[in-house]
Structure 1
């Protein structure tokens, strides 16, 4: 793993660096490796949070692939083994600051008591603030959700999916960004999902940052939730 990470950093070091997508930028690669460790005389716990993001921009469309894996143990007992992989696209074809989106997501989660979950949906989004260093975006749409829970309970439902997203870069040094989702079932008011990821990054170079991430997830139908604070490095490369 150390050799692989060293090779990746060496390759990215020689790629041309840019701050964000622009007219001459068509690809984005992001890698993150964060975690936490706590050990005392009577207990020990650790948590690893790894992520991969790859994006492609072509004229009026953006395609993104994102995967995350959260793994942890507490006193040698498994606490987290949570995997999520998302493919989504944005289509900019109408008004300024407005676009359509589509999403396909697959997830498994030990901590949220999910064997398998697949979501697919469409919706609209609008940039309330759309500046180079400051962006606030809201989106809404409909998802079809089919899941298999750890209790071997299979169910399907349609959900309203609302998202608040933000990104703020201060003096090309400090980065705040977050994705926050609320997904309510149309059929059952007590069946809702909350997903919240908020990050603070301090750039060491344009392509590498020290990162702290706060993640909160709740799946109310299984009465399960998790809250995790991790820290590590993030590699961001546009080319």
Structure 2
């Protein structure tokens, strides 16, 4: 059995085990968040738009959590598709038995991206994380681990290439409540290949949300991605709405 199949099987088993255990317990907590943002530009000579949709669902029980994140970005400029980017991630967290700040994580991710020349990519991995601050106003978290990746891409010569690699994955997350109604949060990744020195991934997401209701906010988002292997990058700045609820 390949490394990829082993890691995927392990993560799938653990995720199903956690979900089955949590969904029948009264103390289980759920969180759902949906955001839709975009930009439309219309002139006499050309029209363009970018629409971004994201859905997050979290299920927590005591010292475990299961998270699902899905996003889709679609853009057109001068009647040409510039973005058709889909990402789906399933991950789990297990707190260390002697700490409320240190936890283990596992991840399974699938994405395709027209703008980054990714026909398909799957990543799976395991690692550890530590929350330096975690309160109502501040959240600061750093994680690291290893990912196994298999990709089908368009290389710099526009030729389809399939390749696999193992990556170090470093992630920095923060959340800052500037006031009771204004929240700034971000997630930043750096994922260099352990086999190829010129192969790395950079991903940065920042959002600023102003709440107009307890469950509804106006959001500005900046999303940056760079894939060195395909020599492609994108920067998307959008505005829209975010709805979220705990239950």
TM-score between the two structures when normalised by the length of structure 2? 0.86
Distance in 1 (alpha carbons) for counterparts of 2:27 and 2:174: 24
Mapped partners of 1:98, 1:206: distance in 2: 30
Shift of 1:170: 2.6
**Gaps in structure 1 of 5+ consecutive residues:** 1-22
Structure 1 segment 113-192 matched on structure 2, within 5 A? 113-150=117-154, 151-192=159-200
Shift of 1:176: 0.4
Give the Cα separation in 2 of the matches to 1:33 and 1:87: 20
One of 205, 225, 237 as aligned partner of 1:217: 225
Q: Which has the higher relative contact order, 1 or 2, with Cα contacts under 8 A spaced 6 or more apart?
A: 1
1-side partners of 2:197 and 2:39: how far apart? 35
Aligned length: 217
Q: Secondary structure at the match of 1:153?
A: strand
Q: For structure 2, list consecutive stretches of 5 or more residues without a partner in the other structure.
A: 1-25
Quote the offset at 1:128 in angstroms.
1.5
Are 1:69 and 2:77 matched, yes or no?
no
- Equivalent-residue separation in structure 2 for 1:153 and 1:171 (angstroms): 48
Give how far 1:171 is off.
Answer: 2.6
Shift of 1:130: 1.7
State which of 116, 123, 138 in structure 2 corresponds to 1:112: 116
Residue 96 of structure 1, CA deviation? 3.1
Please, which of 98, 103, 128 is the counterpart of residue 102 of structure 2?
98
- Provide the C-alpha distance between the structure 1 equivalents of 2:92 and 2:65, rounded to a whole number of angstroms: 6
Contact between 2:139 and 2:174, CA under 8 Å: does it hold in 1? yes
**What is the aligned partner in structure 2 of residue 56 from structure 1?**
59
Tell which deviates more after alignment, 166-175 or 107-116.
Answer: 166-175
Q: Deviations over 1:46-67 (max 9, x none)?
A: 0000011111001110100010
RMSD: 1.2
Match of 2:237 among 213, 216, 229: 229
Q: CA deviation at 1:24?
A: 5.7
Counterpart mapping for 1:11-22 below 5 A: none
Is contact 2:103–2:128 with CA below 8 Å preserved after alignment? Answer: yes
Which runs of at least 4 in structure 1 moved beyond 2 Å after TM superposition?
Answer: 93-96
Q: Is structure 2 residue 53 aligned with structure 1 residue 40? A: no
- 1:93 shift after superposition: 2.2
Q: Could you tell me whether the CA contact under 8 Å between 2:51 and 2:74 is conserved in 1?
A: yes
TM-score under structure 1 normalisation? 0.88
Q: Is the contact made by 2:92 and 2:106 (CA closer than 8 Å) also made in structure 1?
A: yes
The offset of 1:38, in angstroms, is 1.1
